[in-house]
């Protein structure tokens, strides 16, 4: 029997980089949030795959290109020491085209589950929108909502640093439970 792996699915804008109120596609405006490299390093050290899942509707709207998204992702990887295992993006927008990859659908998650042999019960989604939580829930992934806006969703924390603390604390609880 093959051992299944665990992963952290990460929304991008508002979790890994600063939300600027519009599409973030220019590397000079792509600012990695404080504590992100350290948080990702802690999660990686705990044995998690790190997988970015982001909607990039600006591509469908012809505001920017996939190459622009890749340039931002290269900046993110550089800031984090290249430890992110996969960066998926959905380039559709409901007004232009339809896609099962776009959150709240779970297509990006399903691709990663197959590629990395993931046990969804050991995975988390960290996002700043309820659609991120819904996409994870569609395949059984637990969610942590980050950000200032109060939505009533629990758990809800300030940022990725706080989400990392919740995840690692939960891991410790699971490690000490009797088999």
Active-site residues, by number, are: 11, 13
Report residue 67 as tokens: 């190459």
Using only C-alpha atoms, what is the Rg of the chain? 16
Bridge partners, 87 (sequence order): 52
| Dist. CA 137–CA 130, nearest whole Å | 10
| CA-closest candidate to residue 111, choices 132, 133, 89 | 89
> Is residue 128 within 8 Å of 9, Cβ to Cβ?
no
């Amino acid at each position: 029997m093959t051992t299944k792996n665990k992963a952290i699915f990460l929304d991008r804008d508002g979790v890994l980089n600063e939300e600027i109120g519009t599409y973030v596609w220019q590397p000079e405006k792509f600012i990695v949030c404080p504590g992100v490299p350290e948080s990702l390093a802690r999660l990686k050290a705990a044995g998690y795959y790190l997988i970015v899942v982001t909607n990039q509707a600006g591509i469908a709207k012809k505001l920017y290109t996939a190459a622009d998204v890749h340039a931002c992702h290269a900046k993110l990887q550089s800031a984090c020491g290249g430890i992110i295992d996969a960066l998926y993006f959905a380039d559709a927008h409901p007004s232009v085209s339809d896609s099962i990859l776009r959150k709240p659908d779970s297509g990006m998650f399903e691709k990663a589950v197959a590629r990395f042999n993931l046990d969804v019960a050991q995975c988390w989604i960290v996002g700043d929108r309820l659609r991120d939580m819904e996409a994870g829930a569609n395949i059984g992934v637990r969610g942590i909502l980050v950000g200032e806006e109060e939505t009533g969703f629990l758990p809800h924390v300030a940022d990725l640093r706080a989400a990392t603390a919740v995840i690692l604390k939960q891991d410790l609880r699971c490690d000490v439970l009797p088999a």
